[in-house]
Chain A
Amino acid sequence: AQSVTQLDSQVPVFEEAPVELRCNYSSSVSVYLFWYVQYPNQGLQLLLKYLSGSTLVKGINGFEAEFNKSQTSFHLRKPSVHISDTAEYFCAVSSFSSGSARQLTFGSGTQLTVLP
């Protein structure tokens, strides 16, 4: 079984300030990690993913995330946010093994609100 905890349900931040959205996961097997963004009345858009290799992952719209295996964390960061980054952000995990069924397990989401 696996689970995801997003530590902050709401994060307000001023425009051009840096932001970090925190995500911790729990799993008994190796997992792949994802961050998705959801704008109002829309589906989920993939920001970035960690599969293996370098622990620092760069995604779209200037976002990046760092995988920390010892702390089982995958925090999302952006050095300077814009008004247009206002949205809900979801951290998700998935375990993959050859021939197995798949599913994403999501955190409860973090509402990022960028203030002018």
Chain B
Amino acid sequence: KAGVTQTPRYLIKTRGQQVTLSCSPISGHRSVSWYQQTPGQGLQFLFEYFSETQRNKGNFPGRFSGRQFSNSRSEMNVSTLELGDSALYLCASSLDRPSYGYTFGSGTRLTVV
């Protein structure tokens, strides 16, 4: 059974550019969440999608956005990149049952220069 797949694994972007990260959840999982991990702030929740609808959003500026497709794959977009956006971005998928928990991908390491 394939796990959560995130692409690309590594990205280098310049300040002011935009970036799109992709996440393919485990087959059958309809809930996809995104987290940002930095040394200073730790793991912070970005947003969660379920059946193509954003159900919850963390405390991030509007430059951070996402979407989910009908096959449950999800993308997140960051526009007008800042140096502080350099982070590991993690995607997690779930069956949307309280007992199940979350399965994480290996992440996308974004470096903004």
Contact = CB atoms under 8 A, between A and B. Distances in A.
Interface in A13-70: 32, 34, 36, 41-46, 49, 51
B56 A103 contact: yes
A49 B45 contact: no
Interface stretch (B11-19, B60-68, B73-81, B104-112): B104-112
A109 B38 CA distance: 12
A46 B102 contact: yes
A41 B106 CA distance: 8
Contacts, number: 58
A43 B101 contact: no
B66 to A, nearest CB: 14
A103 B48 contact: yes
A44 B56 contact: no
Q: Is the interface of B mostly helix, strand, loop or mixed?
A: strand
Nearest to A46: B101
A56 to B, nearest CB: 17
Given A44-B90, A45-B104, A106-B42, A101 B99 contact: no
Contacts of A106: 35, 42-43
Contact-residue bracket for chain A: 20 to 34
B42 A109 contact: yes
B99 A51 contact: yes
B72 interface: no
Nearest to A108: B42
Interface string B44-67: 010010100001101000000000
A90 interface: yes
Interface of B: 4, 6, 31, 33, 35, 42-43, 45, 48, 50, 55-56, 58, 90, 92, 94, 98-99, 101-107, 109
Pairs A-B, 8 closest by C-beta atoms: A101-B56, A101-B55, A106-B43, A43-B104, A96-B98, A44-B104, A103-B45, A43-B106
